[in-house]
Amino acid sequence: MFKELQFRKDGSRAGLLKTRAGSVASPFFMPVATRGAVKSLEPAEVAGTGAQVLLENTYHLHLAPGEKHIKKLGGLHNFSQWPGPILTDSGGFQIFSLAHARKITEEGVIFRDPVSGQKVSLTPEKSMQIQLDLGADIIMAFDDLTGLDPSKAKVREEQAVEHTHRWLQRCITEFNRLTDKTHKVKRPLLFGIVQGGLDKQLRQKSVEFVQSSGVDGLAIGGLSVGEGTQQMHDMLEFLAPLYDPDKARYLMGVGQPNNLRFAIEHGIDMFDCVLPTRNARHGSVWVTGDKKLNLKNVEHATYKGPIDKNCDCHTCKTGYSRALLRHLFKANDPLAGKLASIHNLRYLQRICESYRP
């Protein structure tokens, strides 16, 4: 599944992740296309930033337009017009992001969709079924993700880890059932997720459990949920020596440039994050030195240069000025968010590329 090509003194490694939709050079960053598209961008534009893999979401696509519908339309690759590998998140993150509108049981989770009001239940089995119907190439186990609730952190964290482990076993069973030889489907990859919050013992236990379960890759979940940079880095440092070298390691939801570098230098191969695209739509872009620029600010109104003169993204190379972007943001023109998204995505891709041979 994962072939390590180069290990460097800085702790980083470069390799190749083999999926049924092609091999991917690591380390890499996956833009988030929750509902089937990276907001405001066409697939070719996403690819133009250097992205190789797209992340889409089980929960949201299940709600609309539905996995059966997508399956009929030829699967996610056809539907999203993205021929390259697609990873689907399992819906586990929604346990965290929709925490006020869901109920967790041993069986799974019942969500009350905040928009439609409809009840949606997800179980490990159902998550596997949906992801396979969608046609994802990398499938995530259904995990239980908790935030940093100080009042009941310990108890809830232990529960989350136990759920995650038991659910992983159920995911594997269901995944194997649905992908055995009788189905004639070329098997996608299945990744298990490590939980444990900021508790090192729990984390270690979780890494060992997930790695010994036979999954194709290891995801670190439950970070970037509000802890400090130092706490995140401590944990990544702690986990680094525990990884199995022939499994891909995916740090979920992390996209701050400094965190990306730190993680890569502590053995992480893959990332996803909404930050580059969401921030971009809100006017916030990264420039050399990881500095954040708010393009809506009045100081850019007369700035003729690009976002970053050192940047090779389409937006900067074409010559769109900060002054224009500021104006478009102020005028609520969606082109602003789109151009800024291209820039931010490229910023993260460049970081990844700098660690490849």
Q: Which chain residues interact with RNA by CB under 7 A?
A: 32, 34, 38-40, 55, 57, 60, 89-90, 92-94, 96-98, 100-101, 114-115, 140, 143, 145, 193, 219, 221-222, 224-226, 229, 252-256, 259, 272-275, 277-279, 281-284, 292, 294, 296-299, 301, 330, 332, 334, 337
Smaller CB distance to RNA: residue 184 or 335? 335
Rounded to whole angstroms, the Cα distance separating 319 from 258 reads 27
CA distance 335 to 320: 11
Pairwise CA distance, residues 16 & 1, whole Å: 8
Q: For RNA, give the closer residue by CB, 39 or 77.
A: 39
Smallest separation, CB 285 to RNA (Å): 9
Minimum distance, C-beta of residue 181 to RNA, in the bound complex (Å) = 28
Closest distance to RNA from the beta carbon of 117 (Å): 10
Given the complex with RNA, which of 5 and 199 has the nearer CB atom?
199
- 244 assigned to active site: no
Q: In angstroms, rounded to a whole number, what is the distance separating the alpha carbons of residues 224 and 159? A: 19
For RNA, give the closer residue by CB, 5 or 334. 334
Tokens, residue 316: 């900067």
By CB atoms closer than 10 A (0-12, 13-18, 19+), residue 117 is exposed
Task: Please say which residue, 111 or 243, places its beta carbon nearer to RNA.
Answer: 111
The C-alpha angle with vertex 276 and arms to 24 and 136, in degrees rounded to 5, equals 40
Largest CA distance in the chain: 64
CB of 184 to RNA, least distance (A): 28
List, in sequence order, every beta strand (DSSP E) within 141-247: 189-194, 217-220
Minimum separation from the CB atom of position 326 to RNA (A): 8
- CA–CA separation, 293 and 299 (whole Å): 10
Could you say which of 133, 137, 144, 272 is catalytic?
A: 272
Catalytic residue among 89, 133, 143, 144: 89
234 is catalytic: no
Residues with active-site annotation: 89, 272
